[in-house]
Structure 1
Amino acid sequence: MTELSTGTLPDKRQVAASFSRAAASYDSVAELQRAVGAELLARLPADLQPARWIDLGSGTGHFSRALAERFPAGQGTAVDIAEGMLRHARPLGGASQFVCGDAERLPLASSSQNLIFSSLALQWCADFAAVLGEAHRVLQPGGVFAFSSLCVGTLQELRDSWQAVDGFVHVNRFRQFADYQALCAASGLEVLSLSSERRVLHYRDLRQLTHELKALGAHNLNPGRPGGLTGRARVLALLEAYERCRDAHGLPASWQVVYGVLRRAA
């Protein structure tokens, strides 16, 4: 098992800038994000009543507000690496604090939180072992770390279609599910549940998919991606390759989602 190298994932400043630019458009195209986050909420332990919680990678604050509604007696902190997302979320409420911070180096006191909730943010972290270490540090004994992320298999149709066109990296890279299993097992946190599920969305055409990825801030951020404009011939070749994936519902795009619920020993 090898952790993703820093040359495999985008620079965090680039990630922060991309998601900051997407703050205004994100909610309009976040169908998958809403569904995955709602599923993660449903997986929280039924008896959990955190006095202090974190929404890590809080984005536009949708799940900060959901957490505040579910745990009205708790005090919430929204943490995101993208200042633009925090500026967007702050007037909408939910959390009582909004903090710009990195999941690999949380600007929070040790043993200060009862719940860390993070939905579809941690796939951008190169050092997931550091994320788990920070969760262990920041959680109080008995505290819960619940996360959803993405693994290999995500956007596989788009990846395969580009492979038929050229050898460049056009689709973001993700960890193997086995890496999540190994890292969680070695984290010192108790693994209450860890699973991977495939979700498939359908699109009218390739333009709709790429527009949505850009609106989410999740278009290709990989190091080594081809620079400049994509030639017309290559775009036409990509369209032809992706069309071979079309089914009765449209053009499919697969998302391989990881759900994890871990707990620091009491």
Structure 2
Amino acid sequence: MSLSPDKRHIAASFSRAAASYDQVAELQRSVAQQLLFDTLEPLLAAKQIQCWLDLGSGTGYGSRALYGLLPQATGMALDLSEGMLKYAQPLGGAEYFIGGDAEHLPLQAGCCDLIFSSLALQWCGNFPQVLAEAYRVLRPGGVLAFSSLCAGTLHELQSSWRQVDALVHVNRFRTLTEYQRSCADSDFKVLHLELEPRRLYYPDLRHLTHELKNLGAHNVNPGRPEGLTGRARIQALVAAYEGLRTSQGLPACWEVLYAVLEKSEPS
């Protein structure tokens, strides 16, 4: 699997986070549960799922949930990060664990009935290509269900950094409009597409940045600062973020998109 420099950086970041990810992934588990049980499960009653793919499977939480819901189906877990796959494989859930890129799936056309992907596709640079690849590997009537992060995620951290310098410190994500346009322009039928903000609160900035590091979700954008951040700049960041404190703590907003797309049956 040949990866671009940016994707190698993303894969390495998540590989380093594999052992610590589940300890701090409360939001990620909650989003996966909502996508699977609230958004997707009611639509599966009329589907015959023989094979599913957990795309961007991470530590395998979604794979194990899918196995519990669809125990008779063959499951595949695919991730860019070798470290995540090595961590997940002993925990089960999927029958096959595959290293691969969502933009270039190493799978045959028409090989599965369901693609499930929770909080992974925001790391893909070419989202229309992701949709095209998902469409290719799904059988007619197959479903792509995904959650992703949109622009506005961690806007409090971003605005606080802007008071310190003009460098890129926070991951950039696609806008809701970009997701809507890409889905509408694809060959899929859009069954569900909804944005839901999630707001978490932290006792201090250190708890937030520690969580982001343990998730492997700290800054992976081009243009990010290299090397250590000086004490004066960190103090300025803390002071700026403290200006947003509420009675519940320091807020951090996550803009979560839930979507279900269907590959139409041939007419």
TM-score, normalization by structure 2: 0.95
Counterparts of 2:69 and 2:240 in 1: how far apart (Å)? 45
> Aligned residue for 1:248?
247
8 Å contact kept, 1:29–1:216: yes
> Aligned residue for 1:5?
none
Identity of aligned residues (%): 62
User: Which moved further from structure 2: 158-167 or 43-52?
Assistant: 43-52
> Aligned residue for 2:14?
19
8 Å contact kept, 1:10–1:221: no
> Aligned residue for 1:39?
34
Q: Does 1:64 align with 2:63?
A: yes
Structure 2 residue matching 1:43: 3-state secondary structure? helix
Hey, which bits of structure 1, 4+ residues long, moved more than 2 A?
A: none
Counterparts of 1:50 and 1:161 in 2: how far apart (Å)? 46
Structure 1 residue matching 2:152: 3-state secondary structure? coil
TM-score, normalization by structure 1: 0.95
CA-CA distance at 1:154 after TM superposition: 0.1
> Aligned residue for 2:116?
117
8 Å contact kept, 1:118–1:146: yes
Structure 1 residue matching 2:101: 3-state secondary structure? coil
1:26-105 to structure 2, matched below 5 A, reads 26-41=21-36, 42-44=38-40, 45-47=43-45, 48-105=47-104
Counterparts of 1:107 and 1:228 in 2: how far apart (Å)? 36
8 Å contact kept, 1:199–1:257: yes
> Aligned residue for 1:200?
199
Counterparts of 1:228 and 1:70 in 2: how far apart (Å)? 45
CA-CA distance at 1:248 after TM superposition: 1.1
CA-CA distance at 1:46 after TM superposition: 3.9
Unaligned runs of 5+ residues in structure 1 are 1-8
8 Å contact kept, 1:120–1:148: yes
Pairwise CA RMSD of aligned residues?
1.1
> Aligned residue for 1:184?
183
